[in-house]
Every structure is written in C-alpha cells, then in structure tokens.
Amino acid sequence: SVLITGESGTGKEVVASAIHRNSPRRERSFVKVNLGGIPPTLFESEMFGHVRGAFTDAKRNRTGRFAAADRGTILLDEFGELDPRCQVTLLRVLQDRTYAAVGQSTPRKLDVRVISATNRDLRRAVADGAFREDLLYRINLIALRLPSLAERRRDIPLLAGHFLARASTLFDSPQAPQEIAPEALAWLASQSWPGNVRQLEQFLARAVLVAHGPRLVVATCQRVTEMDAAGDHGDALPPVGKMTVDDLQKAMIEKSLKHHQGNISKAAESLGLSRAALYRRLEKYRIVP
C-alpha cells in the first residue's frame, strides 16, 4: 500500500501512475476512483459491484472498481473525504483481503495494489476523530509527500518547457512559441503558484494561445496574468492553509497603516478598531507604525 499526500495540483495522480507503470502489475489495469464523488449509500456497489436484484434499481450485474483493477492497481483519490461508515467497510476489506459484491455471499480474493491520495492531513484527522487510525496504518505502508511547487522552484524550467511543448502540439498553432526566453523562465520561477503544477500547466497552455513569435517572453506571461486578474471576480482570499488568521490580521493592519501613512487614528477607524485595540495588535505582531 502507498499513501501519497500533498497539496492539490502537486501531481499525486501522476506519481501513482508512475508507480503502476514501474511495477510488476504494469500490464494490468490502473483504475482511478474519486472517493469524494461517491455517496456513502452507493459506496459498496461502486467499489465491490452488485448482482441483479440485490436492491430495487439493480436491473443487471455491475462490476465493481476492485474487480476492474484485479491484479492491477487501484488509486483511491481524495481518500481523506471518505465517510466514516465507508472507512469501516474498506478497513475490513483491506484487512481480510477479500470482498463480496452486494447481493452475493461468496467472497472474492482481493489482489490489487492500493494507492491512496489526499491533500488532507490524515494524522490531524485521526486526532480530531474524523479518520480511523487503524485504516491509516493499513494504507500507508509506504508514504510519499509531494512538495508544493514553491518548495521545488528549480523544477519550474523543466516543467514549463514540457508543458509548452505539449500545449504547442495540442493546439497545433503556427504561431505557437517553441522555446521560453531565459527572462521568462526566471519570471515563471519567481511566481508563487498556489495551484502548483496544475496551475503552471494551465498557465503555459494559455500562454501558447496568446503568444506571438518563436519564443515565449515575459510580456506574454504578464498578459496571461492580467487575464487571470480580470477574470477573478470572486474570492480574493489566499488559498486555505496558506495563511493563518493572525497572518491575515497582521497583513491587513500593515496595509492599512501604509495606506494612511502611519496615522494610527485613521488606520484604527478603517479596521473597525479602537486606538487602544490597534495598539495592542501592533505590540502583539511587533509592527512599527
């Protein structure tokens, strides 16, 4: 069993696919399941299948995901979203290495490699009582944490070149750039990329569509960024997990002070605080007006 963790967009599915391709099971099926999209009432039918007449709407036999992945690999994506009732069922299957289709009494041997993926902190979920500790032990014989793109900026030029070539081939545009200018590579490497590799891939696809000339330059990259900003009419808050409430409060106080040129009274009024309350926060966050 392999557990792959990491932020959304870091490439967990890509790594799972690579594990399958480099395993003795490579000639067999690689089945991907989004657990977050399966209602608890349909979990057993989806995962283990059912026989005709097992329940009201069971008009024909259905092959479950585990059967489809027989002797191959199954990727259980969004594992942290698994309902507690389904956790119990899956734990029993992984422990016994057998399962039965809904409406069938004869058990079937489970012969698949199970790869689980999640962007949640499962150990914290265990501590909060939202995830079974015994199930966590079952799925993470090998644990892999994928770093965010911000933690591996040196990979950005290689990834950008790969995505540029792929997008150029996909869109088959005569004006698609064939390479990235060094200044543009430096610009790409300097960005935060909260959406990680997935965001970088989408960015390069857009850049190919709006670019002119054989090279992707900084001006084109900035134009794509402006397109994103123009289309963002929704949530201006940072991604969940990137900043704490204290971080947000400190940043807002600093922004207000800068806007009001250090005037405590005006800054406090704009923040909805009294002068005394603002002074307490200045001391707490060690902000010098």
For 17-40, write each residue's pLDDT tens digit: 999 999 999 999 999 999 988 888
Q: Check pLDDT > 80 for residue 100.
A: yes
Nearest in space to 70 (alpha carbons), one of 42, 89, 50, 98: 98
Give CA–CA dist 83/80, Å, rounded: 9
Mean pLDDT across the stretch 40-53?
87
Give CA–CA dist 83/95, Å, rounded: 18
| Residue reference for tokens 């134009």 | 223
Give CA–CA dist 115/83, Å, rounded: 18
E-assigned strand segments in 174-256: 179-180, 215-216
pLDDT higher for 262 or 237? Answer: 262
pLDDT higher for 55 or 132? Answer: 132
Q: Check pLDDT > 90 for residue 11.
A: yes
Q: Locate 142 and state its tokens.
A: 């090998």
User: Residue 229 — pLDDT band, cuts 50, 70, 90?
Assistant: low
Computed over every residue of the chain, the mean pLDDT equals 89
pLDDT at 240: 64
Q: Check pLDDT > 80 for residue 76.
A: yes
User: Phi and psi dihedrals of 9, rounded to 5?
Assistant: 85, 5
- Residue 230: CB partners within 8 Å, gap ≥ 6? none
Q: Check pLDDT > 60 for residue 111.
A: yes
pLDDT at 54: 74
Percentage, residues of the chain above pLDDT 90: 56
pLDDT at 230: 60
Q: Locate 84 and state its tokens.
A: 């507690």
Q: Are strands 142-145 and 179-180 parallel, antiparallel or unpaired?
A: unpaired
For 143-188, write each residue's pLDDT tens digit: 999 999 999 999 999 999 999 999 988 887 777 888 999 999 999 9
| Residue reference for tokens 């084109």 | 220
Q: Check pLDDT > 60 for residue 231.
A: no
User: Residue 264 — pLDDT band, cuts 50, 70, 90?
Assistant: confident
User: Residue 263 — pLDDT band, cuts 50, 70, 90?
Assistant: confident
Q: Are strands 30-34 and 73-77 parallel, antiparallel or unpaired?
A: parallel
For 50-75, write each residue's pLDDT tens digit: 888 777 777 788 889 999 999 999 99
Nearest in space to 158 (alpha carbons), one of 18, 11, 13: 11
Tell me the residue type at 66.
F
For 185-211, write each residue's pLDDT tens digit: 999 999 989 899 999 999 999 999 888
DSSP string, 113-168: EEEEEESS-HHHHHHTTSS-HHHHHHH-SEEEEPPPGGG-GGGHHHHHHHHHHHHH
| Residue reference for tokens 């005006």 | 266
- 3-state SS class at 215: strand
Find out whether 117 and 16 touch, Cβ atoms under 8 Å: yes
